[in-house]
Amino acid sequence: PRFWGRLGAVSGALAVTAGAYGAHGLRTSDRDDYLKELYATGNHYHFLHSLALLAVPHCRRPLLAGSLLTSGMVLFSGTFYYQALTGDPTLTKAAPLGGILLICGWAAMAL
């Protein structure tokens, strides 16, 4: 159970670092405004679900909930980060699957 709390803390630190980069390191133009918005969305969900990971050790099925939340974060936020940083939209179809995994992770916390 301590693993999930630590993973949540590390993920939260990475989310704050990524947020700082997104706020100060990304370029600004019309195209870049869209990519910056994608980055901000990915960062927002990354941060929220990092906080959720901190609660995983307290639920009845921590392995299930933690695995679903972590996989969902990687697929959902990772897709947004990737497209924002590269401009390549080829991985965008993974975002809905990541979102479904996040929803299932929250549901698993309620079990």
The domain locations on the chain are: 2-110
Q: How confident is the model at residue 59 (pLDDT cuts 50, 70, 90)?
A: very high
Look at residue 102 in the predicted model and tell me its pLDDT. Answer: 94
- % the chain with pLDDT above 70: 91
Higher pLDDT, 30 or 22: 22
Q: Tell me how far CA of residue 61 lies from CA of 11, 50, 68, 98, in angstroms.
A: 20, 17, 11, 20
Share of the chain residues as helix, strand and coil, in percent rounded to the nearest 5: 85, 0, 15
- Is the pTM higher than 0.75? yes
The DSSP call for residue 89 is: -
